[in-house]
Amino acid sequence: MTENTTRSLEPGDPGSFDDWPPGFLDQLREMSHRSGYTKLCHVCRGHGGWNLALNQYPLRGNPDTADHRHLFAHRRTQCDHCNGWGWLHPQDNCPRHQLQKIGNRGRSLHIYRCTSCGVEREIDTSD
């Protein structure tokens, strides 16, 4: 494994999906399909997120296994295109959401709209 200290990894970069557990991906697929999300997310490729950087945190006594590295060592992010589901609604044809803030519905509830496809998202920052 290598350490990335210069920039964050993007989906598809070497290491971006290292140590993601297959069982987790199966659970995401099953939950997504039950909710009608049956189109594979082209950004995260069904993972629901990716590693931003590898081996950024110590394992703190946990065994050096793929599961523990995934949970404790790698800096990860959730996919902002599929909201971590790994799958999309069949009619979603946006190449990648470019969200722009358009307003608030409360102190920490912000409204964003994609400049490409027009979809709106509520994001709770709980600040």
Q: Per-residue pLDDT tens for 19-70?
A: 998 888 899 999 999 999 999 999 999 999 999 999 999 999 999 999 999 9
How high is the pLDDT of residue 4? 46
Examine the domain organization and report whether 85 and 102 are in the same domain: no
Range of the domain at 63: 1-93
Beta bridge partners of 114: 99
Q: How many Å apart are CA 56 and CA 6, to the nearest integer?
A: 12
Number of domains the chain is built from: 2
Residue 108 CB contacts under 8 Å (≥ 6 apart), including other chains: 124, 125, 126, 127
The yes-or-no verdict on residue 127 having pLDDT over 70 is no
Place of tokens 């599929």: 82
| pTM: predicted TM-score of the whole model, two decimal places | 0.80
Examine the domain organization and report whether 28 and 49 are in the same domain: yes
Examine the domain organization and report whether 2 and 34 are in the same domain: yes
CA-closest candidate to residue 114, choices 29, 43, 40 = 43
pLDDT band at 125 (very low <50, low <70, confident <90, very high): confident
Neighbours of 14 (CB within 10 A): 10
Examine the domain organization and report whether 75 and 114 are in the same domain: no
Examine the domain organization and report whether 102 and 85 are in the same domain: no
